[in-house]
A and B are shown apart, each in its own frame.
Chain A
Amino acid sequence: MADTILVVAEQREGKLNRVSFETISAAQAISKETGWPVEVVLAGSGIGSLAQELAGKAVGRVYALEAPSLAAYTSDAYVFALKHFIREKQPKLVLFPHTYQVRDFAPRLALALDRTLISDSIGYKYENGKLLFTRQMFQGKFAADVSFAGDGPWLATIQIGAFRGDQAEAGSASVENVTAAGAESAPRVTPHEVFQEAKQAVDLSQSEVIVAVGRGIKEQKNLALAEELAKALGGEVAASRPICDNGWLPLERQIGSSGQTVAPKLYVALGISGAIQHIVGMKGSRTIVAINKDPEAPIFEIADVGVVGNLFDVVPALTEEIKKAKA
């Protein structure tokens, strides 16, 4: 069978996860260089219309892999169904979006197929017929080019935001319904309803200016510095995960993969090193100002303006200057 790229799209509770289009976009780019055609599979139950939506992209075919056992996500049912599907189709490459759901089942699926998974890739390289995936290491301080050894299927997950979903090429593919192989036993995990904690009082995605703090703020009382700067700029205060874990700010003010995703006009990062999990939540910001004592901090890679220095000196001075400029 010819080499193909299979994209495993994602849906939850009857809604297509839009990051699926980012992975299709990645697959289309790889396809242009390798010549391997792209196919898409979506697992679930009663997902015909979602499969149709995916078929609006320039891909060879969309498989709707259906079974009642796939209605609510469990790793057992997903691994079982996809293992059989992939064994039958034998794609060369299988791509997933690096979502929490994929993180839950994809490593296990790879091992069940006796294969490996390169996780959280931010890009790829096709060098002399060799496919490499680039991933971040040491919290983004380094990048690594990683290759597969042995035969396909090769599995890789694509970091959220690494490819543009809105740039996935449009087309018209056929949808093929496939009945998923039935597992011999019930899933061992019993899932309950997905819910949100108390309704979020602040919607940071609507803020034009965000002043975010990270570990570099050192103590809870120092948050006042960020609050004053935010006030001067007319913005909201937010934080990276460790600050919310410490209880210094409520979880609803957390930016990153587990918190909110924002794209304000101005994002000021104070004492934030720029771990991947934070970056994915804010890298769409129009202007990014980073203040950090570590010149090697990965946040400087995406900043428009970088200040290597002591935030306890720089921030009060900056607040004063902003007030003057706005007066």
Chain B
Amino acid sequence: MKILVCIKQVPQKDAPLKLNESGTWIREDVSYEVNEPDAYALEEALRQKEKHGGEVVVITAGPARSQQVLREALAKGADRAIHLEDDKFVQLDSANTARAIAAAVAEENFDLIVTGLQSDDFGAAQTGVLLAEILGLPHATIIIGIEKTDSGLHLKRELEAGHYQFIDMPTPAVLTIQSGINKLRYASLIGIKQAKNKPLRKVAWAEVEPKFSKNLQQIERLYIPVKQKKTEMIDGPAAEVARKVTEYLKNTARVI
């Protein structure tokens, strides 16, 4: 199988985020990592390749710093990488991001395209599904099991509240992958060495821009959420904190 994995670089989970001066985006001077569900998508692609042969290609859209997630993917075993490189990709909407990816891989015929079910920054959960629509391919979302069959794919789809569903679909197809579908691997030392010599193709904004449509939605402002509850913050040494929390539970909340 020839597999494309769409990955994204997002701020690290516990990175302290600050608003920029105009209140339209975060300050970019933070640490970044690969979007977690995308890491599971990559792992699944590598496992499918190990079982059935083929090729794994990783793609990302983002500034120069996001090359890091491509290098990590190559070190884990991806065969080559494509970098849609420009600062402007950071705030691009889901539909145009999908158009950019579609344009960058127009010459390739992938059997399978996988990506995480959503990103930890925007969390729109749309890019994968939109990519399928643009490419005219069938898709399935929130996939937690993949089995290749003679005629296509046998998939386990997660539904809400502990429910699941098996579905069958033909390839080529686009899947969005749920975290926890597999166990992530670490890159080996030899893998990290080899990654340096693997091909990485850069695609400029100008090359894909003709495919864009007008951004149909606009972030007007970004802000720290208004608190929904009055929270009683308790600090001090552990013993004192424990005593105060217990008092609250006993006298105010009356749960013990």
Residues of A whose CB lies within 8 Å of any CB of B are: 75-76, 99-101, 103-105, 107-108, 111-112, 115-120, 132, 135-150, 188-197, 200, 208-209, 215, 233, 241-242, 244-245, 251-252, 257-261, 265-266, 273, 276, 286-287, 289, 294, 296, 298, 300-310, 313-314, 316-318, 320-322, 324-326
In the assembled complex, how far is the CB of residue B151 from the closest CB belonging to chain A, in whole angstroms? 10
List, in ascending order, chain B residues with CB within 8 A of A233's CB: 256
Chain B residues, Cβ within 8 Å of A142: 17, 19, 26, 222-225
B123 in contact (CB, < 8 A): yes
Contact flag A258-B221 (CB < 8 Å), given A137-B121, A309-B235, A321-B246:
no
- How many whole Å from A90's CB to the nearest CB in chain B? 17
Closest to A132 in B: B220
Q: Of B121, B158, B166, which contacts A100 at CB under 8 A?
A: B158
Query: Please, which residue of chain A has its CB at the minimum distance from the CB of B166?
Result: A192
10 nearest A-B pairs in the assembled complex, by CB-CB distance: A245-B180, A116-B216, A317-B242, A188-B138, A313-B238, A107-B126, A321-B246, A287-B253, A318-B242, A107-B129
Q: Please tell me if the beta carbons of B163 and A196 are within 8 angstroms of each other in the complex.
A: yes
Chain B residue, CB-CB nearest to A189: B169
State whether B233 touches A306 (Cβ < 8 A). yes
Residue of B nearest to A267 (CB): B255
B133 in contact with A112 (CB, 8 Å): yes
Interface check B168, CB cutoff 8 A: yes
Evaluate whether A326 and B256 lie within 8 angstroms (CB atoms) in the complex, with A107-B126, A321-B242 already known. Answer: yes
- Complex Cα gap A199–B221 (Å): 46
Question: Quick one: closest B residue to A298, CB to CB?
Answer: B225
Set B133, B179, B243, B246: member contacting A108, Cβ < 8 A: B133
Closest-by-CB residue of B relative to A287 is: B253
What B residues does A194 contact at CB under 8 A?
159, 163-165
- CB contacts (< 8 Å) of A287 on chain B: these are 249, 253, 255
Does chain A have a CB within 8 A of B63? Answer: no
- Expressed in whole angstroms, the minimum distance between the Cβ of B180 and any Cβ of chain A is 3
CA distance A144 to B225 in the complex (A): 9
Chain B, 113-171, CB within 8 A of any chain A CB: 120-126, 129-130, 132-134, 138-142, 158-170
Q: Does B47 contact A (CB under 8 A)?
A: no
- Count of B residues near A, CB < 8 Å? 77
- The stretch from B8-16, B51-59, B198-206 touching chain A is B8-16
Contacts of B142 in A (CB 8 A): 100, 103-104
Are B139 and A75 in contact, CB atoms less than 8 angstroms apart?
yes
Is B232 an interface position by the 8 A CB rule? yes
Given A144-B219, A273-B13, A304-B232, A257-B140 contact (CB < 8 Å): no
Residues in B neighbouring A251, C-beta threshold 8 A: 162
Report which of B168, B180, B228 forms a contact with A241, defined as CB distance below 8 A: B180
Taking the complex as formed, is B234 at the interface, i.e. its CB lies under 8 A from any CB of chain A? yes
What would 17 A/B residue contacts be, using CB atoms closer than 8 Å?
Answer: A75-B139, A101-B159, A111-B130, A111-B134, A142-B222, A143-B226, A148-B218, A150-B216, A188-B170, A200-B162, A257-B160, A258-B178, A259-B161, A259-B162, A294-B14, A306-B232, A307-B241
Listed residue (A139, A286, A316) with the most chain B CB atoms within 10 angstroms of its CB:
A139
A191 touches B138 (CB 8 A): no
Q: A309 near B232 (CB under 8 angstroms)? A: no
* A321/B245 in contact, CB under 8 A: yes
Residue ID in chain B nearest A313 by CB atoms = B238
Taking a contact as CB atoms under 8 Å apart, the answer to whether B243 and A321 are in contact is yes
Contact B26 A107 (CB under 8 A): no
